Amino acid sequence: MSTSTSALGETLVDAGSIRARIVEVAAEIDARYAGADQPVVLLCVLKGALIFSADLARQLSIPIEIDCITVRSYGPDTRSAGEVELVKGVTTELQGRDVLIVEDIVDTGHTAAFLQRNLVELGARSVRLVTLLDKTSRRARHVHIDWHCFRIPDRFVVGYGLDHGERYRNLVDVRAIDVV
Ligand code: IMP
């Protein structure tokens, strides 16, 4: 639980734009996996991608299975220092499977890089990444992002699954927050 105070700022991505963009991205994902010989494993990165995953999953027409993974990145409050730890792994056997990582945000890229490496080690046949938000200006390492919904500037954001000290995940819009 964060002890800092914070003030909600402007809306960077509103709920209507999120809905519309998910429809577009889901169509691209459907096209990419069309004709696959087995269901795609949609891997929700908890907790931030919970709401995005649920909405994306319901716009997909391809056969999917859903699993969740929990990771923790270390660093002061709103900044990731590059240390990523697996808190709870997947329960699905991933050997030979097509895995689509569903992220809330790619910031420094440490989490996405960690997951991509981890899933390849588990024997996945393909590992792709879709993220709701892409904060490119803070990238510390290269990660290949297959689909992003929105690029955002270097602001700390909350809502639509993203939190600050576990709060604000239930906001329908993505909003900037000034952390004091
Ligand atoms: P990374 O820096 O790309 O490894 O991102 C690590 C994690 O930090 C993300 O999955 C988010 O959970 C969290 N994070 C990064 N930027 C923000 C933000 O602006 N708001 C809320 N969480 C964030």
- 162 forms beta bridges with 159
pLDDT at residue 116, as a whole number: 96
Whether residue 107 lies in the annotated active site = yes
Using 50, 70 and 90 to split pLDDT, how confident is the model at 3?
A: low
Residue 6 to residue 41: CA distance in whole angstroms: 37
- Among 74-83, 91-100, 134-143, whose mean pLDDT is lowest? 74-83
29-66 confidence digits (pLDDT tens): 999 999 999 999 999 999 999 999 999 999 999 999 99
CATH architecture of 12-169+171-175: 3-Layer(aba) Sandwich (3.40)
User: How far, in Å, are 37, 87, 108, 139 from residue 97 at the CA level?
Assistant: 10, 22, 27, 28
38 CA → ligand 1 middle, Å: 31
pLDDT at 73 over 90: no
**Average pLDDT of the residues in 12-22:** 98
Using 50, 70 and 90 to split pLDDT, how confident is the model at 79?
A: low
Q: What pairing do the DSSP bridges indicate for beta strands 83-88 and 64-74?
A: antiparallel
Select from 4, 83, 107 the residue to mutate for testing ligand 1; criterion: most ligand atoms less than 8 Å from CB: 107
